[in-house]
Amino acid sequence: MKEETVHVKRLKEFIVGDVDPRQVANQATNREDVERIVSHKGSPHSRKKLKFEVKWVGFEHTTWEPWSKELSRLEVMHTYLRDNKLKVLIPAAFK
């Protein structure tokens, strides 16, 4: 891939009708946005066995997802952890 330097004045807004850029990015990476964390099961002392019930944006159903770096970085996860007295699980960079 060739790299090219372009002056900021030459940049233009990328518009493709009613397409949501976030949705396009999610499709490209096989990800969806988390609406909220519903519940959890397992002990916070054993993160490998800890699972969270996740409600996804645009879907009616929920799924059980294991603890992961990706999930632990989400603000909805931090809110859930604070509300359920599990603040110890919030990564230090986000406290």
Digits of tens for pLDDT over the chain (95 positions)? Answer: 577 888 888 887 767 777 777 777 766 666 678 999 999 999 989 999 999 999 998 889 999 999 998 899 999 999 999 999 999 999 998 87
Q: So what's the pLDDT on residue 1?
A: 59
- Residue 71 CA, distance from chain mean position: 6
Measured in residues, the chain has a length of 95
For residue 47, being part of any structural domain is answered with yes
Question: Would you say residue 25 lies in a domain?
Answer: no
Tell me, what amino acid is at 62? T
Query: What's the predicted TM-score (pTM) here?
Result: 0.69
Write down the pLDDT at residue 84.
Answer: 95
CATH number of the domain where residue 57 is located: 2.40.50.40
| Residue type (1 letter), 42 | G
In a domain, 11, yes or no: no
CB 71 within 8 A of CB 77: yes
Residue 14 lies in a domain: no
Q: Residue 55, class by beta-carbon neighbours within 10 Å (0-12 exposed, 13-18 middle, 19+ buried)?
A: middle
Domain residue limits at 66: 33-94
- Judge whether 19 lies within some domain: no
Question: Is residue 23 in a domain?
Answer: no
